[in-house]
Amino acid sequence: MSADNLDPNIRDGVIHPEVRPPDDESERDQDGRRLRHAEGASKPVRAPAVREPQPRGAKIRGNRPVDQAEAAERFLAAPLHQAAHDERLWDLRKKRDVAAHGIPEWEELRDLASEIKTHTLSHLDRYLEQFEAAAKANGVHVHWAADGAEHNRIVLDILRRHEAKTLVKSKSMLTEECGFRHFMGAEGIEIIETDLGERIQQLDNEEPSHVVAPAVHKTRLDVAAVFAKTLGTDPDNDDAHYLAERQRETTRPYILNADAGMTGCNFAIAETGSVVTCTNEGNADLSGNVPPLQIHSIGIEKIIPKVEHLGVFIRLLSRSALGSPITQYTSHFRGPRKGTEMHYVLVDNGRSARLGMEEFWTSLKCIRCGACMNTCPVYRRSGGLSYGATYAGPIGLIIDPTFNKRKYSTLPFSSTMNGSCTNVCPVKINIHEQIFAWRKVLVEEHQIPVLKQGMMKAAGAMLSRPAAYRAAIGAADSALKVLPRFAVYNSLNTWGRKREMPDAPRQSFHAWYKENRMKGGKA
């Protein structure tokens, strides 16, 4: 068959032949072409033929600064995992671009979403009160938690009053932030994650590495090994459908018999007092609707004013996260079912303090799509667990220091400052500018090592004097041509690690410009 006779989408490589269904009944556009949904743009990532130990995350040593570079180096030393991680996330980034370009009003939506968030955060007290009043009118019990510890105590008190011993929950980054599962385990409450990725991480005793795809750093062989150890599956069977079905079979009995259920919150609507969750597995619906006791953990920044505003964010969220038009389930929880109880726990945990930070308050606009992670070259190559924090990648670099400046003081330096994160953010957070701002704050407050402080001070002195800078560049270029290899490639030169230094140019740009564009003193 000639290429001209192929389906246009196959010919263009949008649907990879290996994942194209035999009877393609998917949606079509007005010209009869298959819509470029997320699953249609993916080329399958093959599991490696040989087993490679999965690199673990950053080593946490109390309040000491997280050594993200050390953990990233271990991830880079596992080439099969690093390559698969990079390929998966870049695939999501490409699908995001296809989805965004398919909507003529994409930039208008981003502007509108950003403006809605700005307005809401500027009147957050009023909308929180409106949300509480509407929720109570719907029969919901509303609680307020100043921090993660109070959130955990409130939920524990609710569970004990109902003599609940088991709780099933859907994915929630807020509960990860609060250390909820570990706290409840110490109190004798069994917590079962129902999201596939979160369940994989729970069974492997790891934290999620991505806000949307918690186990994206694992290969199928890793998952097969975890399930063989914990669920009794065939260790030699790494088929994704087999593994997902085994997880479903073992999790469903927990859901059916659980004393309580918990979900997170993507959006909380002040007008109606309702909580909206977006999932692709339906696990939030099961966790929220099957048990007799229903609890929703809500970050106070998740408030939006009206139902009509929800459509803006729904159109942006899944396209930014996965490249798909919408999540499979967009669920609204408004009030308790007959004979059941519903509780909302509204959590601050540093958000009010961040709202008062002139340079960093807009980070509260984040809708947790993960688009900045998918595009970030540092995150893609170092793995989310290397950050040693609930939030990894570019958004983590600006959120994590608001929780603990000392512990996360190294993270804002784990960036190339290329600005791609800002370019893909659906709510237009100026992420790379905030990363730079955090660097300044951490230097001014002496939250970085003395050696780095000294190096930055010296660099600042040189860069502020053009003549000294040009002289240093000339000397360095000359030295690189004659220095022996061991003098260039050593532990002191981080730029020489895992890469070859480029050849020094014949002349600097300044010298070239002066010679070619400023003859006779004219530009």
Note the pLDDT of residue 98. Answer: 93
Q: What are phi and psi of 267, to 5 degrees?
A: -145, 140
Compute the average pLDDT of residues 284-305.
Answer: 96
Whole domain around residue 498: which residue ranges?
454-521
Q: Is 247 among the domain residues?
A: no
Point out the domain boundary residue: 414, 448, 482.
448
H or E stretch including 193? Answer: strand 190-193
**Do residue 440 and residue 480 come from a single domain?**
no
Taking every pair of C-alpha atoms in the chain, what is the biggest distance, in angstroms?
88
Across the range 168-173, mean pLDDT stands at 96
Residues 370 and 476 in one domain: no
Query: Is 155 inside any structural domain?
Result: yes
| 438 shares its domain with 459 | no
Q: Does 245 reside within a domain?
A: no
Q: In this structure, are residues 96 and 319 in contact, taking their beta carbons and an 8 Å threshold?
A: yes
Same domain, yes or no: 373 and 503:
no
Say yes or no: 97 and 149 in one domain.
yes
DSSP per position, 93-120: HHHHHHHHHT-TTHHHHHHHHHHHHHHH
Q: What is the mean pLDDT of residues 390-401?
A: 97
Mean pLDDT (whole number) for 455-463:
76
**57-74 as b/e, with b when 16 or more CB fall inside 10 Å?**
bbeeeeeebbbbeebbeb
Residues 403 and 282 in one domain: yes
CA geometry: angle at 201 spanning 387 and 92, to 5°? Answer: 65
pLDDT confidence of residue 105: 96
441 and 365 in a single domain? The answer is yes
What is the pLDDT at residue 49? 59
- My answer on whether 400 and 267 are in the same domain is yes
pLDDT confidence bin for 1, thresholds 50/70/90: very low
> Same domain for 388 and 516?
no
Q: How many domains does the chain have?
A: 2
- CA–CA dist 275, 151 (Å, integer): 17
The pLDDT of residue 396 is above 80: yes
393 and 290 assigned to the same domain: yes
Determine, yes or no, domain membership for 502. yes
pLDDT at position 279 over 50: yes
DSSP state of 46: P
Domain edge (last residue) among 431, 448, 465 = 448
User: Is residue 319 predicted with pLDDT exceeding 60?
Assistant: yes
Closest C-alpha among 466, 445, 336, 463 to residue 401: 445
Beta-carbon contacts of 321 under 8 Å, excluding residues fewer than 6 positions away, are: 92, 96, 212, 369, 370, 371
Q: What is the pLDDT of residue 457?
A: 76
Neighbours of 188 (CB within 10 A): 9
196 lies in some domain: no
The enclosing domain of 433 has a CATH number of: 3.40.50.10420
Domain boundary among 401, 433, 448: 448
Question: At 218, phi and psi to the nearest 5?
Answer: -95, 150
The token duo for 365 is 């606009």
Asked if 424 and 468 sit in the same domain, the reply is: no
Mean pLDDT of the residues in the chain: 88
Q: For residue 235, which phi and psi values (nearest 5 degrees)?
A: -65, -20
What's the CA dihedral at 129, 134, 138, 144 to 10 degrees? Answer: -10
Within 8 A by CB and 6+ apart from 218, the residues are 54, 81, 200, 204, 226
Evaluate if residue 86 carries a pLDDT over 50: yes
- Whether residue 340 contacts residue 290, with contact meaning beta carbons closer than 8 Å, is answered with no
Query: In 3-state terms, what secondary structure has residue 24?
Result: coil
Residues whose CB falls within 8 Å of the CB of residue 248, separated by 6 or more in sequence, listed in order: none
Specify if 501 maps to a domain. Answer: yes
pLDDT(10) > 50: no
In a domain, 224, yes or no: no
445 — pLDDT class (breaks 50, 70, 90): confident
- 3-class secondary-structure state, position 482: helix
Residues 223-252 pLDDT 10s:
999 999 999 999 999 999 999 999 999 999
521 or 264, greater pLDDT: 264
Q: How far apart are CA 259 and CA 517, in angstroms?
A: 76
Residue 20: pLDDT band with limits 50, 70, 90? very low
Does residue 377 belong to any structural domain of this protein? yes
* Cα gap 477→500, rounded to integer Å: 15
Residues 288 and 418 reside in one and the same domain: yes
